[in-house]
Chains A and B, each alone.
Chain A
Amino acid sequence: MASWVLAFNEQARAALRRIDPWLQEEILDELDRLAQNPGQLRRGGASPVSIADLTRDRDNQRHYIFLSIETDVSTRTLQIIDIGHFSRVL
């Protein structure tokens, strides 16, 4: 099965640029995995979008990343709506 397409809006692009490069790469890798298997996305509850999250540790910090994604089934596209990030000392 072919991978879905990833599309970013200005907001998601700006959010990504605020994040450290190593973590940007982790996020893009995660999005690639989701594009291979969109079934891993979760419903966002009462929110109108789907969600995914990831957690990564580096330099005694734990980073929590939250992805808001809308799926366009007709074009098989994952639209990255926005990206949330929070970190704390381990």
Chain B
Amino acid sequence: MSALPLFDSIFMTAAGDAPPNPSAIDRLARFSQQLVQSALTDLTEIESLDSGLAPPDADAFDAHAALLLRGMYEQWTRDADAVLERVAKVERMGITVPAAQQLRDAQGRLLAMLQVTLDDIQRGRRQFRQGRTWTREEIRGELGSGIQ
């Protein structure tokens, strides 16, 4: 994310002042909020592109487009990580950054999504066409007595 060096500069100024300069702190808080909002907006744009490429049916999906979109999501999670790392430093100064938790949750959901690769999806679909499947009751039964 291109604004990160700018954040680092603003952070150094605000964190380096002793005693703290209220206007520098206020500027850091506002910039942090903008950084978080910018990351969330970027994600919304990727999701919009993704939705626009939804295939008419499962067998008509464009694997290459899906792979490229996946790369965009992966890059976004790395960008979000860089933002969250900086937000954490701001929060440690006692400054609340609105929507920071929303960004953490958005990134967490995406990281869970990215655990499932396109190959996993294709393999999983093949398993249904070719292999053994388990019912809800069989799964509940084998996962142990703790699950009813």
Contacts and interface: CB of A to CB of B under 8 A. Distances in A.
Interface of A: 5-13, 16-17, 21-22, 24-25, 28, 31-32, 35, 43-49, 51, 53, 55, 62, 64-66, 68, 70, 79, 81-88
B147 A12 contact: no
A84 B53 CA distance: 22
Main secondary structure of the interface of B (DSSP, over half): helix
Given A13-B134, A46-B66, A81 B146 contact: no
B112 A86 contact: yes
Nearest to A11: B124
Nearest to B130: A9
Given A21-B144, A28-B140, A66-B109, A84 B128 contact: no
B143 A11 contact: no
A21 B147 contact: yes
B108 A62 contact: yes
B112 A84 contact: yes
A14 to B, nearest CB: 11
Interface stretch (B3-11, B54-62, B91-99): B54-62
B136 A10 contact: no
A84 B121 CA distance: 11
A88 B50 CA distance: 26
B133 interface: yes
Nearest to A22: B146
B53 A7 contact: no
Contact of B146 (A12, A21, A49, A68): A21
A28 B135 contact: no
B136 A32 contact: yes
Contacts of A48: 55, 58-59, 61, 66, 121, 125
Interface string B105-116: 100110111111
A32 B109 CA distance: 21
A6 B133 CA distance: 10
Contact of A17 (B54, B143, B146): B143
Interface string B46-71: 01001101110011011001100100
Contact of B62 (A16, A28, A46): A46
